[in-house]
């Protein structure tokens, strides 16, 4: 999942760069407003690419999933109130 999102991100950013280069290298010779329009469209691509690259997939770990470190997981569970602390278990 991560590799696919990374590939999509780089494809979108590559498209963005190609649009900027085409706009000011080729399209501006025929129409400056069209070149500006291409740049405006290219300007919208990076935020969308970042959102797509950083979205959580169905198989991704999330912040509250166990990390695998028992001591760390126990500490976080205690802070979140999911388990009682060891001190409360003692008489």
What are the tens digits of pLDDT across the range 32-79? 999 999 999 999 999 999 998 888 776 665 666 667 788 877 877 787
| Residue 91's pLDDT band (cuts 50, 70, 90) | low
| Segment 6-10 mean pLDDT | 92
Q: How many domains does the chain have?
A: 1
Name the DSSP class of 55. Answer: S
pLDDT reading at 81 higher than 80: no
**Cβ neighbours of residue 4 closer than 8 Å, sequence gap 6 or more:** none
- Residue 9 belongs to what domain range? 2-58+65-89
């Amino acid at each position: 999942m991560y590799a696919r999102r990374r590939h999509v991100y780089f494809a979108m950013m590559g498209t963005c760069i190609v649009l900027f280069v085409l706009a000011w290298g080729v399209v501006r010779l025929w129409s400056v407003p069209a070149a500006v329009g291409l740049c405006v469209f290219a300007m919208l691509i990076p935020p969308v690419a970042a959102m797509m690259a950083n979205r959580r997939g169905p198989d991704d770990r999330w912040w509250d999933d166990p990390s695998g470190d028992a001591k760390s997981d126990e500490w976080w569970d205690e802070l979140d109130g999911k388990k009682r602390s060891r001190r409360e278990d003692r008489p």
